[in-house]
Chain A
Amino acid sequence: MDELPALERASGPSPRPLLESLYERMLLIRRFEERVLSFFSEGSLYGTTHACIGQEAVSVGLFSHLGPQDVVFSNHRCHGHYLLHQDDPEGLLAELMGRATGPCAGRGGSQHLHRGNFFSNGVQGGIVPNALGLAMAGGLLEKPGIAVVFLGDGTLGEGQVYESFNLASLWRLPVLFVVENNFWAQSTSSKVQLAGEIADRPRAFGIPTEVIASHDVLLTCERSGPVVQAVRRGEGPRALVFHTFRLCSHSRSDDARPESCIAPWRSHDPLLLASKELDPAWLEAAESRVDERLARAEQSALAAPFAEEPVLPPIPLPRSSPEVWSGERVVQVLNRALRGLLEEDPRVLLLGEDLVDPYGGAFKVTRGLSGDFPGRVLATPLSEAALTGVASGLALRGMRPILEIMFGDFLTLCVDQLVNYVSKFRGMYDGRASCPLVLRTPMGGRRGYGPTHSQTLDRLLMGVPDLRLVAPSVLHDPGALLREAVDDEAPVLFLENKLMYTRPVRCADPEGYLGPWRARRTAGPYPTVTLSLVDFSTSKVTLATYGGMVEIAMEAAETLLIEHEVACEVVVPSWLNPPRFQALEDSLSRCRGRLVTVEEGIGVAGWGAEVISSCCERGLLRGAAGRVAAPCAVIPTALPLESGVLPDSAGVVQEVLRQIG
């Protein structure tokens, strides 16, 4: 038989009304979870479910100090937290049964809940920086309340937790980290996955941490109060570590824990402990009140319909921003756009590594901004994952954060946030939340930065629902695109090309000429620019390209016309995913359906592949199509080797000639 940790009990006489009120809340959670488990067995629930049976004293004690103004970010085991914060068993049951009357209309289910200031997500770790962002936004927007985020012992294996401890402590954010240590991460004992002490972890970052080992709801209530108050007073983040135990399985039928370790906890069932102090007649009355409420909830949930549309309508496009042509370099245009956004919109905040002066960012995009906008341009630690999470939390609560990731290659560190948080919130919360953050990052090679600072990784994030991929080029006004991205309710990945920063933006003159080219652009936000060397009469091939490859494609097109009498159009979208067809279709009709795509990244399952296959689906192609892209290879550092890997204009010329035979 496993030994119990030294559990504490409240001393002195119990204040009866308080205990009754706490008990009834615990009872509601317990009976709710029991019902849920029985519905689960009957098959009337969708998805999995994680009950918190046995752990009720922790949340009930803590939540007696929290109100609706406080933001709560919970994890997979969130039913109890939701019921305490929102008092909505009706909605929660409907959500679990997949009904339209659930807070997320059945899109979120058990683990993905949002109502008012309550959020939950089923992936471990990432919600911690989200909570930081929510807390930070609360401060900036002068909203009352603190942020509370729930971790388990298992969550402590995730890196974003520690990035967040560091950030919260550095920035003294009003966040309360709550670790519900139930000693088991699913089926694995914390003994085999946690080194050191849990409480030492936040403490290492200067976060005062209190450990409460008790299933006595009066004690958890009493001891958590001062901690919450400290955070509320603006004394910076705090951590609370509760030692608790789950008396049920992790989700369903997956309890591999030996009975020998569960048994000793049964006598510490928080309801059992509290009921000993209470009057049996009152207990019976409480039982029937809870039962009645849950029966009503069950009835209304079962009667409710399912949501009609499986897929939410697309996020509306932002307002179109007027283009300003100054002939300046891309880096200057972006810098001025950021300055304008900071001046005009108090919700805008810049975050990233090395952004502040005198350095002004690795590519100098933010030069001169930190001095003029103190507190709104933040140089951050090297914590790309947590920063994306923080920006996401900021955006969820109404800010317009612009996050710079120093090199696009580091986006791999942000993918967890981008895929499972940033882009998910709207969809899983039934469109009742939006996460309008802009993540700017430079991609691309030809600088000799080598294998890990030269890649074009755009394709890794193509086809993520609700995540917009926008790529400026020298043919677009990058400033206007950035304004549109900031105005967009969708999260935008703003993919810059590092070679482009020093290039001047190229604008067409009033007659529509751009050097020897004629230019057309589509109306509305995120325009597509089409170039023709032969005044939009018929051409032989459409070259579709974007971002840093634009000038390479233009050079190839000029060579093809001058040397080979082959006229090409160049179609340059600024919106990458999913492809938009208006300009492509027009161009392909003039080029008799012959298409060659040009991209800097690896071709396999890339942008070009997507453009070609979707043009093919629409019958826009005449026959074969060509793809110019990097081979599936690591980018070498030495210039002659790097040049051998990255696609160039000679390669484009060759591919076009091959296509037209």
Chain B
Amino acid sequence: MIELRVPREDVNDDTATVARWLVPAGAPVVAGQVVCELETTKTIFEVCAPAGGHLHPVAPEKAELSVGAVLARITDSPEPPALPETPIEASKQAGEVRATRQAQEFARAHGIDLAALAHRGILTLKEVQAAAGLRKPHWQTPPGVRRVLVLGAGVAAMQVLDILLHDREVLPVGCLDDDTSLHKVSLFGVPVLGGLDCLEELWRDGVFDAAIVGIGTNVPVRAAMYRRLRDLGIPLVNAIDPSARINRQALLGQGLVLCAFVHVGVAATLGDNCFLAAHSNIDHHCTLGRHVVMGPGCLLSGTVTVGDETLFGSGVIVQPGLEVGARCRVASGSVILRDIPAEHAVKMRPPTEVVMVKTGG
């Protein structure tokens, strides 16, 4: 059997169209006989049989073939040769659903049928996640596991999610953020479902059971979101890292975020919606109001009181028994030696002098 292939006629055309077959299928041909006319953008040219035999066209008239593709076969028999069917490329199959790699992985992991979501474009992770979140309110959560929505999708929300994802009693189902650029993002596989305007609709649709604020240092916004959740009657959960050490007599509010290695000492009290970054120490008998936010490594000695919505930078040290008022801002590294009245900012004065007193020898 001899294969007749599409020749390259000029440098511009990578394909040629079958203009006309000059011999019927199965007809005998002799070597050098013109059997077919091919057309390129430049010209129409003739194709000759390279050898004698019976001609069996592979491509019909008007078909467009790549240079080098099989045009016809020449065999010893007028019967068409039996040939295995050429497999069609998987990706070119009609009706194939196109989706991004991450969308496909997400769909596989969550048992989502992409065909049900298919449109004429390419399905993105965002679309698959949004569809899953919005159209399937009842996630496959074991009994007793609460579905949690996180308000915010920035760096603080990531810390919250990190804690929630290690907590077997909760399942974070999504985040909301007004920054539209974050809307296609997923944080550790948790989709950003939309802006905060979706909150009521999602709550109404029963997409989640409880919520938590994933906003850090922007204390007024943190407080406002807490109030909004409260107004809607949405329960708040605490996100407490498993490495945190909390005294059993301590009193904890709701919506708290306690990051890794936080220590809450004997009989300390934390108001609702506080955010304490890693390694913060709230020692015995301390009292924190609501929406208090602390950077990492703050050290509160015993019996310190902190008012609502006060923000500490990192590494702030407070001497025992002092009182820091509401809505204060305390700079990182400050050492508080006296009471701070409400609504004051404490700026750190860098140490300029090291005082050494000889104590031995």
Binding site for B on A (CB under 8 A): 329, 331-332, 363-364, 447-449, 498, 501-502, 511, 513, 516-518, 533-535, 538, 558, 561-563, 565, 567, 592
Q: How far is the CB of B295 from chain A (nearest CB, A)?
A: 26
B12 proximal to A (CB < 8 A): yes
Q: Is B162 an interface residue (CB 8 A)?
A: no
**Are B124 and A561 within 8 A (Cβ)?**
yes
How many residues of chain B get a CB closer than 8 Å to chain A's CBs?
Answer: 24
Number of A-B contacts (CB under 8 A): 62
Q: How far is the CA of A332 from the CA of B42 in the complex (A)?
A: 10
Residues 1-23 of chain B: 1 if any A CB is under 8 Å from the residue's CB, otherwise 0?
Answer: 00000000001111100000000
**Which of B41, B98, B125, B180: most chain A CB closer than 10 A?**
B41
Q: Establish whether residues A502 and B14, one from each chain, have CB atoms under 8 Å apart when the complex forms.
A: yes
Task: Take A329-B41, A502-B12, A565-B124 as given contacts and tell me if A538 and B181 are in contact as well, using a CB distance cutoff of 8 Å.
Answer: yes
In the complex, are the beta carbons of A447 and B121 less than 8 A apart? no
Residues of A near B12 (CB, < 8 A) are: 363, 447, 498, 501-502
Q: Which of B91-150 contact A (CB under 8 A)?
A: 98-103, 120-122, 124-125
Chain A residues whose CB sits within 8 angstroms of the CB of B181 once the complex forms: 538, 592
The answer to whether A534 touches B41, judged by C-beta atoms less than 8 angstroms apart, is no
15 A-B pairs with CB atoms under 8 Å apart are A363-B41, A363-B42, A501-B41, A511-B120, A513-B120, A513-B121, A518-B121, A533-B121, A561-B122, A561-B124, A563-B100, A563-B101, A565-B100, A565-B101, A565-B103
Task: Name the CB-closest residue of A to B120.
Answer: A513
Say which residue of A498, A501, A538, A565 sits within 8 Å of B125 (CB atoms). Answer: A565
The chain B residue sitting closest to A332, CB to CB, is B41
Interface positions of B (Cβ within 8 A of A): 11-15, 40-43, 98-103, 120-122, 124-125, 180-181, 183-184
Contacts of B40 in A (CB 8 A): 502
How far, in angstroms, from A364 to B39 measured CA to CA in the complex? 13
CA A513 to CA B98, docked complex, whole Å: 15
Chain A residue contacts of B11, Cβ below 8 A: 447-449
CB closest chain-A residue, reference B99: A562
Please report the C-alpha to C-alpha distance between residue A448 and residue B14 in the assembled complex, in whole angstroms.
13
Closest chain B CB from A510 CB (angstroms)? 12
**Interchain CB contact (< 8 A) of A535 among B43, B121, B183:** B121
Q: Within 8 Å CB of A534, what residues of B?
A: 121, 124, 184
CB distance from A515 to the nearest CB of B (A): 8
The CA-CA distance from A511 to B121 in the complex, in Å, is 12
Shortest Cβ gap from A317 to chain B (Å): 31
Residue of A nearest to B182 (CB): A538
Q: Give the chain A neighbours of B41 by CB distance below 8 A.
A: 329, 331-332, 363-364, 501-502
Which residue, of A332, A448, A562, has the highest number of chain B Cβ atoms within 10 A? A562
| Chain A residue nearest in CB terms to B15 | A502
A502–B14 CA distance with the chains assembled, in angstroms = 8
Residues of A near B180 (CB, < 8 A) are: 538
Contact A502/B121 with A538-B181, A561-B100 known, Cβ cut-off 8 Å:
no
Among B11, B12, B98, the most chain A Cβ lie within 10 Å of the Cβ of B12
A134 to B320, CA, bound (A): 100
Q: Which residues of B contact A513 (CB under 8 A)?
A: 120-121
A363-B12, A502-B13, A561-B100 are contacts. A538–B183 as well, Cβ < 8 Å? yes
B121 touches A565 (CB 8 A): no
A349 vs B65: C-alpha distance when bound (angstroms): 36
Tell me, in angstroms, the Cα distance from A449 to B11 when the chains sit together: 9
Distance A502 CA – B181 CA, assembled complex (angstroms): 40
Q: Contacts A501-B41, A562-B101 known; A567 to B13 CB distance under 8 Å?
A: no
A518, B120: Cα distance in complex, Å: 9
CA distance A226 to B121 in the complex (A): 76
Residues of B within 8 A of A538 (CB): 180-181, 183-184
Query: How near does chain A come to B40, taking the closest CB pair, in angstroms?
Result: 8
Alpha-carbon gap, A447 to B11, bound state (A): 7
> What is the CA–CA distance of A424 and B307 in the complex, to the nearest angstrom?
76
User: Closest CB-CB distance, B111 to chain A, in whole Å?
Assistant: 20
